[in-house]
């Protein structure tokens, strides 16, 4: 299989290494808006490189990986749909729900397989939590606590294009909650604040946020996120049930310092970056994509599925901005989105 990879930044270069080492991939061809960067990465890895996206599609790929800047995702998915190629696309599919819907209709009409990259679905801890919930061993779930706490802010230029904390960062927690529980969100109430750099406020964003998601079965999911968690990359999920409770991310590299007397946990070096924290999951999701592109499995996360997660993130942003609860059914009706369980 020949894979075309668009985007050769940090995550794109990582995906290129993964694909080149996969036994189901014969060759990889890279393209990037920064053509010299694509050529440098290709030279380092022994891949091919071309100067433009047009040249990449002309190079005869059997499948495409989209790891370009967020603003380019929708257009590249539409281009792949026209070419009839299976696609892996980093989240988000599009910066808005309206554009996401347009892409969904286009790829479904074209009949191409699309895998949207929510890598936590391939993390061993999240998979174990899902199995525990789905088996019934936790009893009925009453509370989930999820968080994504980044150690440092992204570059200032990234923030206005990111979609905001909930769409860019907490969206991973939203997807994890939906995927682990198999239950949709009924209502959200979200808030946010700024404590750090002015560029968040200037972009209409926040550097810390929290949300209460009420699920369809009346369980509560409590989300928190921040761009300023100096101790490290803290990503966790706790699922509390009537019979038992489980935690994802509770390991020796957890970026917390206990002040309880005699407690030495966690004793390891804190996770520094999200790519370090989820490296095995990133590799596993690319392996799943290769299987999907070869027709050996269904998409692990379709555009239609990712749309539901995007809708919840949109509801959080509306709630934060307007300081009110938002019903998902009402927001879905505005966009003519049918809510379907993950």
Predicted confidence (pLDDT) per residue in 262-288, tens digit: 999 999 999 999 999 999 999 999 999
Residues 219 and 131 in one domain: yes
Residue pair 340/309 in contact (Cβ under 8 Å)? The answer is no
Is residue 284 in some structural domain?
Answer: no
Domain final position from 61, 85, 119: 119
Distance, in Å, from the CA atom of 117 to the CA atom of 170, rounded to the nearest integer, reads: 14
Q: Across the chain, what does the average pLDDT equal?
A: 96
Average pLDDT over residues 205-213: 98
Q: What angle do CA 243, 249, 252 make, to 5 degrees?
A: 115
Count the Cβ atoms, other than its own, within 10 Å of residue 69: 14
Residues 144 and 86 in one domain: no
Residues 96 and 199 in one domain: no
How high is the pLDDT of residue 341?
Answer: 42
Residues 96 and 211 in one domain: no
- Quick check: pTM over 0.85? yes
Residues 134 and 21 in one domain: no
Residues 125 and 220 in one domain: yes
Predicted confidence (pLDDT) per residue in 215-263, tens digit: 999 999 999 999 999 999 999 999 999 999 999 999 999 999 999 999 9
How high is the pLDDT of residue 277?
Answer: 96
Residues 165 and 311 in one domain: yes
Residues 17 and 159 in one domain: no
Residues 308 and 183 in one domain: yes
Residues 6+ apart with CB under 8 A from 186: 214, 215, 216, 327, 328, 329
Integer distance in angstroms from the first to the last C-alpha of the chain? 29
Is residue 283 in some structural domain?
Answer: no
Average pLDDT over residues 336-342: 56
Q: With bands split at pLDDT 50, 70 and 90, how would you rate the model's confidence at 342?
A: very low
DSSP string over 250-298: -STT-S----STT---S-SPPP--HHHHTHHHHHHHHHHHHHHHTTSS-
Asked if the model's pLDDT at residue 37 lies above 70, the reply is yes
Count the Cβ atoms, other than its own, within 10 Å of residue 329: 11
Domain tally, the chain: 2
How high is the pLDDT of residue 336?
Answer: 77
Residues 126 and 202 in one domain: yes
**Domain CATH number, residue 24:** 3.40.50.720
Asked if the model's pLDDT at residue 339 lies above 70, the reply is no
């Amino acid at each position: 299989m020949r894979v075309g990879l668009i985007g050769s930044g940090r995550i794109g270069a990582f995906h290129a290494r993964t694909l080149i080492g996969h036994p189901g991939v014969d060759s990889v061809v890279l393209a990037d808006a920064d053509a010299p960067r694509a050529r440098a990465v290709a030279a380092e890895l022994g891949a091919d490189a071309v100067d433009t996206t047009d040249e990449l599609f002309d190079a005869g790929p059997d499948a495409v990986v989209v790891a370009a800047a967020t603003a380019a995702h929708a257009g590249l998915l539409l281009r792949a749909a026209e070419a009839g190629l299976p696609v892996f696309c980093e989240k988000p599919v599009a910066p808005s729900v309206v554009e996401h819907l347009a892409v969904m209709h286009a790829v479904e009409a074209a009949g191409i397989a699309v895998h949207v990259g929510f890598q936590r679905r391939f993390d061993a801890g999240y998979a174990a939590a899902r199995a525990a919930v789905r088996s019934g061993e936790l009893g009925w779930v009453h509370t989930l606590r999820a968080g994504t706490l980044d150690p440092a802010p992204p570059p200032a230029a990234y923030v206005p294009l990111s979609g905001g904390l909930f769409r860019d960062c907490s969206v991973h927690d939203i997807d994890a909650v939906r995927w682990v529980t198999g239950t949709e969100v009924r209502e959200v109430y979200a808030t946010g604040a700024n404590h750090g750099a002015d560029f968040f406020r200037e972009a209409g964003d926040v550097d810390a946020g929290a949300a209460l998601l009420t699920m369809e079965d009346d369980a509560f999911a409590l989300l928190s996120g921040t761009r300023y968690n100096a101790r490290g990359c803290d990503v966790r999920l706790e699922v509390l049930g009537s019979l038992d409770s489980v935690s994802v991310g509770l390991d020796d590299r957890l970026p917390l310092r206990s002040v309880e007397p005699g407690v030495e946990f966690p004793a390891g070096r804190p996770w520094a970056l999200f790519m370090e924290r989820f490296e095995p999951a990133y590799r596993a999701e690319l392996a799943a994509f290769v299987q999907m592109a070869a027709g050996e499995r269904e998409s692990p996360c379709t555009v239609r599925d990712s749309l539901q997660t995007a809708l919840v993130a949109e509801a959080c942003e509306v709630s934060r901005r307007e300081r009110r609860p938002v019903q998902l059914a009402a927001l879905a009706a505005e966009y003519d989105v049918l809510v379907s369980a993950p």
